[in-house]
Structure 1
Amino acid sequence: MNKLLTQAIQAHGGMARWQSLSDGHATIVSGGDLFAVKGLPQDPAPREMTVRLHEERASVRPFGAPDQKTDFTPGRVSIEKLDGRVVAERMDPRTSFNGHALETPWDALDRAYFNGYALWTYLTTPFLLTMPGFTVTDIEPWREGDEVWRGLRATFPPEIASHSDEQDFYFGSDGLLRRHDYHVDVAGGFAAAQYVGDYVDADGIRVPTRRRAYRRSIDGRPRLHEVMVSIDLSNVRFSD
């Protein structure tokens, strides 16, 4: 395994602990300019997120109504009643974004798909980079103020849904993730720089509870006045 990734895995709780767990849960409050641009402004109500750790599957509740939730996998996304009745579903959901620009409106299933893959990615980082099909290489570090953050570029396998095929992860001297760069392919491919922090220990796994994704300039600097997505986590926990 890549040396920096090995250090990051250890800093975030270690592979042995991760392998002993199966599910992740968190209360999320999200917002940001992206959802308003897409015609789906986000209210500040807390929601419950659940993800599978070793396969790409996620759900959030409530969604659209108090008695509804989402069910996301890369090949299918649905909105369902809590008793399992399907309200709406879409097979092969990634194709619905073909031709989208940043300003292209989303429908509820588009939003459910984005939420599913994004939160699954965030709650499984950096451990997902050890899954079959991923490749990682060292890249130039990023200097942030007085700190130097070491970088990894990850190429995602086609069966994993995420922001873009290539994504960059920057880690502090303690091995913890500090910044995550990517292109949001489902929203016209705009460049994003996501800063993470406020770590907690959740059942032996170190998790950042604050995420802010900004538009990224050509020089790599975040446009701090353009918060595209904000995510605050609380009550983070993992189960076997």
Structure 2
Amino acid sequence: MGLEKVVEKLEEVPPLLRLLTGSATGQLITTYVNMITSPRKKGEKDGPLEVHLIILDNGRSKIFADPQRRQTLQCIRCGTCLNHCPVYTRIGGHAYGFTYPGPIGKILTPQIEGLETAGVLATASSLCNACEEVCPVKIPIPELLRRIRSESYSKDPSSTISGQGYKSNGIESLIWKMWAKINSHSWINTAGLKILSILGLKLPNIGPLKHWTRYRATPTIAKKSLHDLVKQHGVDNE
């Protein structure tokens, strides 16, 4: 079992079981609980001669070391986030390709396996926040998904997750910098839209855009912007 399943005292188990079954299926109590105790004591006629409990770390201690990511380990495996996830309910668990599917798998697997191996799982989300709303232990799954996505493109020196920046691309970074430059100067944005409204927007049916433009209509640029229409109707204070 994973080390996050360890609780300090036996009296802490019943609340977790009630929370687990109530969140998973609405039951008051689970239909079975396996209690493993010590080996057979002297004079006892039943019980194992030896007991071996294997506790796996498998990267979990590194996850726990991060104050934000350690919240992932609070998961009690109730499956509530899976039942409410619009992605999981449509593609099923096998599509994820790893042991843990659904929203919790999207944040746990990349942290264990590394971003280069499983970071793509974080993109299979609409960030609708349904998983966080229904999670009985309040794991901020959307927030952790955004962090994993961010670290897939850039490196955080304080982070221990492997494979950071594996999606980093010079051309893509340049495009986003140009986009930020254009949108931070209104006159550039306005001039560009006016030129496009006159010439028309034509997306090339070649290269990486070929498959995208094959099934999509070219967006139409309005002749006048919203700001122009507001001014035209005599509204000065926008």
Regarding TM over 0.5, the answer is no
Higher helix proportion, which one?
Answer: 2
* TM-score (norm. length: structure 1): 0.21
Larger Rg: 2
- Counting strand residues as a fraction of each chain, which structure ranks higher? 1
Which structure exhibits the higher relative contact order, with contacts defined as CA atoms closer than 8 Å and separated by 6 or more residues?
Answer: 1
